[in-house]
């Protein structure tokens, strides 16, 4: 008999769902998980935890348990990477006003703002704060309610279907909306078996194909970086998944095709989403006609538009992509000005330049802040990334701007490549495929491209690392 859990979100989960922690070889059903949540809730109430608490547990089952126990105790959960330093954790606690830090050890309660009589959070109370910026400066937290999360889960299920979510794998970190909302909450609502294997290391990745076979996985969602490593290190599985999602970073058409070939699954979806919309907002399968670099398909519920340079909102054309969805965030924690700036009327400004065609399909061109301004010509950095990654010797690429005394900015790039890459030949190859001003004037060959703890490229760090290397030609 399941222990009653009052949170709106937990009530959406199918009782057949099962959670598996791959590393500890622990498997738990929803009834037992509810009992663990209930016991933890009692601890929180006795400790007087209220308002919000920072969750930094290294064990994935404990991480999830603490989030639901906080909601049951009437507090919001602030999610962070368990690997951040003690100073960074204290910075997040101070910035969010959290009453406790939950890191798997003894309860560290800084402030008791409610007592043991607090009831579960309501559907429209701030529930989940996803930290999306560095924790060394002023942290940026995106606030969601259980209602916005529930809306996204319902839209995900409608688009994917419970059958494809029968046996899922989560390799993404749980402090990441893509991992928690897209992988975990959606799979639990479908009543499937969910294997938790967040952020596998290089040695673990060698066994990825064997895991797919052993678990007979039907679904997973990850990032382009994951597949770059997986396809290099792991033997192919014999078992074919039913559906694969790739998101959180640009996916080039050659890599899209490579993932489909390696997995033996034609239903590989290029996904588009952001933490502000509680995970996925749109997606399209490689099997759909017209698959191309940047194509992410139609919205999964809600609507999309573009904001032109003339300030007009249009449902078709080129401009900044705008999003409207029932899974929209409440705003940025304690940042009213930034929250207002994020919207154009009822529309979320995504910060992405894109094109919407007559059929409502979105094609992303690049991030506005990543544009390289070469003599007044705007060059999307992502366009150069995907061009370079088509070269047979280039595994990964990241373009960025360097100061230029004549043009203002010049195009540069960092690449991870096979041995023996000839840089002049690579530039000649680029000249045959793109306009002259977009050809990188300087290319740095490195062992790895710098990323943040979510696996996303931070171009400012890439530029710093490239210049510090003293390499490049």
CA dist 111 and 21 (Å) reads: 32
H/E stretch holding 160 reads helix 146-160
User: What is the rounded average pLDDT of the residues 350-358?
Assistant: 95
H/E stretch holding 46 reads helix 30-47
CA dist 263 and 241 (Å) reads: 7
What does the DSSP 8-state code read for residue 347?
Answer: E
User: What is the rounded average pLDDT of the residues 354-382?
Assistant: 90
Contact 33, 188 (CB under 8 A): no
pLDDT band at 91 (very low <50, low <70, confident <90, very high): confident
pLDDT band at 135 (very low <50, low <70, confident <90, very high): low
Whether the predicted pLDDT of 132 surpasses 80: no
Query: Could you give the C-alpha distances from 50 to 69, 76, 119, 330, 393, in angstroms and in order?
Result: 11, 8, 11, 20, 54
Closest C-alpha among 291, 288, 171, 153 to residue 222: 171
CA dist 83 and 73 (Å) reads: 26
Q: Which residue has the tokens 């690049």?
A: 366
H/E stretch holding 383 reads helix 381-388
What is the predicted pLDDT for the residue at 111? 46
What is the predicted pLDDT for the residue at 408? 83
User: What is the rounded average pLDDT of the residues 425-446?
Assistant: 91
List, in sequence order, every beta strand (DSSP E) within 22-99.
Answer: 26-29, 52-55, 76-79
Is 258 exposed, middle or buried (CB count within 10 Å of its CB: 0-12, 13-18, 19+)?
middle
User: What's the full length of the chain, in residues?
Assistant: 473
User: What is the rounded average pLDDT of the residues 358-365?
Assistant: 94
User: What is the rounded average pLDDT of the residues 101-115?
Assistant: 65
> Distance between terminal CA atoms of the chain?
66
Whether the predicted pLDDT of 80 surpasses 50: yes
pLDDT band at 189 (very low <50, low <70, confident <90, very high): very high
CA dist 278 and 229 (Å) reads: 27
pLDDT band at 112 (very low <50, low <70, confident <90, very high): very low
Q: What percent of the chain has pLDDT over 70?
A: 95
Q: Which of 1-5, 98-102, 121-125, 446-450 has the lowest mean pLDDT?
A: 1-5
Contact 455, 427 (CB under 8 A): no
CA dist 473 and 469 (Å) reads: 12
What is the predicted pLDDT for the residue at 123? 94
pLDDT band at 116 (very low <50, low <70, confident <90, very high): very low
Query: CA angle, corner 74, sides to 70 and 78, nearest 5?
Result: 45
Query: Could you give the C-alpha distances from 326 to 12, 152, 202, 299, 364, in angstroms and in order?
Result: 17, 7, 38, 12, 22
Contact 86, 103 (CB under 8 A): no
CA dist 349 and 341 (Å) reads: 8
Classified as helix, coil or strand, 163 is helix
Whether the predicted pLDDT of 262 surpasses 80: yes
Whether the predicted pLDDT of 150 surpasses 90: yes
Query: Could you give the C-alpha distances from 336 to 51, 264, 274, in angstroms and in order?
Result: 19, 47, 19
CA dist 167 and 28 (Å) reads: 14
CA dist 70 and 42 (Å) reads: 10
CA dist 239 and 111 (Å) reads: 51
CA dist 198 and 175 (Å) reads: 10
pLDDT band at 184 (very low <50, low <70, confident <90, very high): very high
Segment 1-59, tens digit of pLDDT: 455 677 889 999 999 999 999 999 999 999 999 999 999 999 999 988 989 999 999 99
pLDDT band at 261 (very low <50, low <70, confident <90, very high): very high
For the record, the structure tokens of 59 come out as: 């064990």
What is the predicted pLDDT for the residue at 109? 60
Closest C-alpha among 438, 425, 304 to residue 363: 304
pTM of the model: 0.86
CA dist 424 and 429 (Å) reads: 9
User: What is the rounded average pLDDT of the residues 302-314?
Assistant: 94
User: What is the rounded average pLDDT of the residues 180-195?
Assistant: 97
What is the predicted pLDDT for the residue at 134? 53
pLDDT band at 115 (very low <50, low <70, confident <90, very high): very low
Domains in the chain with CATH codes: 10-147 (3.40.50.980), 200-367 (3.40.50.12780), 371-469 (3.30.300.30)
- 18-21 and 193-196 beta bridge pairing: parallel
Contact 64, 19 (CB under 8 A): yes
CA dist 348 and 267 (Å) reads: 29
Classified as helix, coil or strand, 69 is helix
- What region does 298 belong to: left with phi over 0, alpha with psi -120 to 50, or beta? beta
Q: Which of 103-117, 290-304, 422-436 has the lowest mean pLDDT?
A: 103-117
CA dist 378 and 87 (Å) reads: 39
Segment 210-224, tens digit of pLDDT: 999 999 999 999 998
């Amino acid at each position: 008999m399941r222990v009653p859990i009052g949170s709106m979100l937990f009530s959406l989960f199918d009782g057949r769902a099962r959670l598996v922690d791959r590393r500890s070889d622990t498997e738990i059903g929803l009834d037992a998980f509810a009992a663990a949540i209930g016991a933890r809730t009692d601890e929180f109430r006795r400790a007087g935890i209220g308002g919000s608490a920072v969750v930094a547990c290294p064990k994935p089952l404990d991480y999830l348990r603490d989030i639901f126990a906080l909601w049951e105790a009437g507090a919001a959960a602030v999610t962070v990477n368990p690997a951040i330093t003690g100073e960074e954790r204290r910075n997040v606690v101070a910035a969010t006003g959290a009453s406790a830090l939950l890191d798997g050890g003894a309860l560290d309660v800084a402030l008791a703002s409610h007592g043991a009589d607090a009831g579960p959070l309501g559907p429209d109370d701030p529930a989940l704060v996803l930290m999306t910026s560095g924790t060394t400066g002023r942290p940026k937290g995106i606030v969601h309610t259980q209602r916005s999360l529930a809306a996204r889960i319902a839209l995900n299920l409608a688009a994917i279907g419970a059958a494809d979510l029968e046996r899922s794998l989560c390799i993404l970190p749980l402090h990441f909306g893509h991992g928690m909302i897209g992988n975990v909450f959606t799979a639990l609502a479908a009543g499937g078996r969910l294997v938790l294997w967040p952020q596998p290391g290089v040695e673990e990745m060698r066994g990825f194909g064997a895991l797919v076979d052993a678990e007979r996985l039907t679904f997973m969602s990850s990032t382009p970086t994951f597949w770059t490593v997986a396809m290099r290190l792991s033997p192919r599985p014999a078992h074919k998944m039913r559906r694969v999602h790739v998101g959180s970073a640009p996916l080039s058409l050659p890599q899209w095709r490579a993932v489909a070939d390696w997995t033996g699954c034609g239903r590989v979806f290029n996904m588009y989403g952001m933490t502000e919309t509680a995970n996925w907002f749109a997606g399209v399968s490689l099997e759909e006609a017209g698959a191309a670099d940047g194509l992410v398909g139609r919205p999964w519920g809600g609507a999309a538009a573009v904001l032109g340079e003339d300030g007009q909102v249009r449902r078709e054309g080129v401009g900044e992509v705008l999003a409207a969805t029932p899974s929209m965030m409440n705003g940025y924690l304690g940042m009213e000005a930034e929250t207002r700036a994020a919207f154009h009327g009822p529309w979320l400004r995504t910060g992405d330049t894109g094109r919407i065609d007559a059929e409502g399909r979105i094609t992303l061109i690049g991030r506005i802040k990543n544009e390289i301004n070469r003599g007044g010509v705007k060059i999307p950095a992502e366009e150069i990334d995907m061009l370079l990654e088509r070269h047979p010797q280039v595994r990964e690429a990241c373009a960025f701007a360097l100061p230029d005394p004549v043009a203002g900015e010049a195009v540069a790039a960092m690449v991870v490549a096979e041995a023996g890459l000839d840089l002049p030949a690579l530039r000649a190859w680029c000249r045959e495929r793109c306009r002259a001003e977009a050809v990188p004037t300087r290319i740095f060959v490195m062992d790895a491209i710098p990323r943040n703890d979510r696996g996303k490229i931070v171009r400012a760090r890439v530029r710093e690392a490239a210049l510090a290397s003293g390499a490049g030609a």
